[in-house]
Amino acid sequence: MSEGKTLEAIVIFGDTFTFPEGNAATNRVHTFARGFHENGIEVFVVCFRNDYVETVNGSINGIHYYHPYNQTKRSSSILIRRWVKLYKYFRTYRTIKTINKDHRILAINLWTNRLLVQLFVYFLGLVNKTSVIHEHSEHPLREFQKPAIKRIWGETKSYLGTRLCDGIFCISKYLINFYRDRGVNDRKLLLVPSTVDTQRFVNTGRPPLPFEYILYCGSLTIQKDGVDILIDSFYRLSREFPHIKLVLLGKGDSLTEELMIKRKVEALGLSDKVQFPGQISRDEVPAYICHAKILALARPRSIIADAGFPSKLTEYLSSGKPVVVTSVGEIPDYLIDNEHAFLSEPNNAEEFADRLTYALHNYENALSVGERGKELTSHVFNYKFQASRMIDFIKRLSSKELK
């Protein structure tokens, strides 16, 4: 480290999230960034997407962020658009070099599914003499199942990716085992479970809605989060609890899937009992969560559920409100039924409805369960605790203990 580089920094770099507003990946980036910052590390977020944003560079809660695409509106010229996409790489290179002049970059934390971006960040790591740590929150082969040739390409891309980084953050033990089985050294792998900033769920103000409601917060998806199953479950209990509504907060990953969900609500005659507020700002979400009667996630059994862990679940737990969730993936490794949350068999709308009904009929006990679930967010899922572990891991890499 040269003289003058007294500040340590971590660069969070990727194209699978937006920043500072965004989806579940954005929330995880926020928790990583805040955790690093509160552990004494400067944080720079480089959002590598080709998005048109109002503010291309800025700072939020001490976190610096950059959009090297550097565009606020779409150009009418195809040549300019192509040039901007290419020039983005040079602008990023220059940004990282500038950061590296005044800081010792401990690592570039990479978030991408694209091999070209992995190659580019591998180059940035070499030039700036820093480690590259790849973040994995989902199964790398989830989009490469069939046909066989596609599976082979997925495996090849995944293998090359593990060779283009110095370490991997895995959100689940499933992913740890996935990479271990493919020859990745255990010392290059770190389990980083879902992380949450609990302070977001304190003093959230007045209720955002004038009625009692069950809340789902996230992407309006069928395959990933089973919103259709939740609607079927709500239909089963809606007559017994006519004063309670279902609020589905967010938007679909695709317009087609979102329309399917809305049509299902209409077909079941629930249009007056199911609310679609759409996607709201990150700062508005905690109030919806904390003032809900019950928080629900009917995630079905799938390769996505097996490998991942829903960030919305840890946000639910932070509120201390009763949580009803399906027992998929590694959720039962952390949550005990009737102790931290109410667990239901996946892909079973009737049983999920029974768990919702039980919580509503036994609400004082359900609140006690919610409070015990909240206790997990003070240590296991706590962003600052997990950031400290990640920093230690990164420093072991940079000291060449893993070489």
Taking the C-alpha atoms of residue 271 and residue 262, their distance in angstroms, rounded to an integer, is: 9
- In the structure, what pLDDT confidence band is assigned to residue 290 with cuts at 50, 70 and 90? very high
Instruction: For residue 71, give the 3-state DSSP assignment.
Output: strand
Q: What is the pLDDT of residue 2?
A: 46
Q: What is the pLDDT of residue 302?
A: 92
- In the structure, what pLDDT confidence band is assigned to residue 401 with cuts at 50, 70 and 90? very low
Question: What percent of the chain clears pLDDT 90, i.e. is strictly above it?
Answer: 91
Q: What is the pLDDT of residue 1?
A: 42
When the pLDDT of each residue in the chain is averaged and rounded to a whole number, the result is 94
Q: What is the mean pLDDT of residues 317-344?
A: 97
Q: Mind listing the pLDDT tens digit for each residue in 202-211? A: 988 999 999 9
The hierarchical CATH code for the domain 198-378 is: 3.40.50.2000
Q: What is the pLDDT of residue 5?
A: 64
Q: What is the pLDDT of residue 277?
A: 96
Q: Mind listing the pLDDT tens digit for each residue in 339-370? A: 999 999 999 999 999 999 999 999 999 999 99
154 touches 175 (CB < 8 A): no
Angstrom distances, CA of residue 335 to CA of 272, 342, 380: 34, 9, 11
Q: What is the mean pLDDT of residues 174-185?
A: 96
Upper half-sphere CA count for residue 364 (Cβ side, 13 Å): 0
Strand pairing partners for 10? 43, 107
Q: What is the pLDDT of residue 212?
A: 98
198-378 has the same fold as 7-195+382-398: yes
300 touches 223 (CB < 8 A): yes
Question: Which residue ranges make up each domain of the chain?
Answer: 7-195+382-398, 198-378
- In the structure, what pLDDT confidence band is assigned to residue 254 with cuts at 50, 70 and 90? confident
Q: List alpha helices for 224-295, DSSP H.
A: 227-237, 255-267, 285-290
Write down the pTM of the prediction. Answer: 0.91
270 touches 231 (CB < 8 A): yes
Torsion angle defined by CA atoms of residues 34, 35, 37 and 43, in that order, rounded to the nearest 10 degrees = -70
Which of these CATH numbers, 3.40.50.2000, 3.30.470.20, 3.40.190.10, 3.30.420.40, describes 7-195+382-398?
A: 3.40.50.2000
Q: Mind listing the pLDDT tens digit for each residue in 123-135? A: 999 999 999 999 9
Q: Mind listing the pLDDT tens digit for each residue in 81-116? A: 999 999 999 999 999 999 999 999 999 999 999 999
> Closest Cα partner for 320 from 290, 300, 347?
290
